Amino acid sequence: MKNLIRIDNSRFMELVDEIATEMMEMKFGNDAWTSKISNPALNPREMVWGLTDEAQDYYNDKYDEIEERFNKYRIYSDYTE
């Protein structure tokens, strides 16, 4: 294919992640995050933060959509063949 733009894979992923994260945070705000005990048997007081299932699903969908949109305009990760 002619006129392809290839971006270092880690930079490409960082860009797509930043956009997807911003979209997810705009939609869910503080409700995107949840906390839980990481390993109750070892340390019942150690809390970890993560996305709710709904926010994670939304992020995953947006990540894929953004990556596809870049590819539509012939912008690819250098990892993509």
* Residue 62, H or E segment: helix 53-72
pLDDT of residue 3: 86
Structure letter (DSSP) for residue 4: -
pLDDT level of residue 67 (50, 70, 90 thresholds): very high
Q: What is each CA distance from 20 to 42, 44, 64, 67, 71, in whole angstroms?
A: 34, 32, 9, 10, 15
pLDDT of residue 19: 98
Please provide the DSSP assignment of 45-57 as one string.
EEEEEEE-HHHHH
CB-based contacts of 56: which residues, under 8 Å, 6+ apart?
Answer: 50
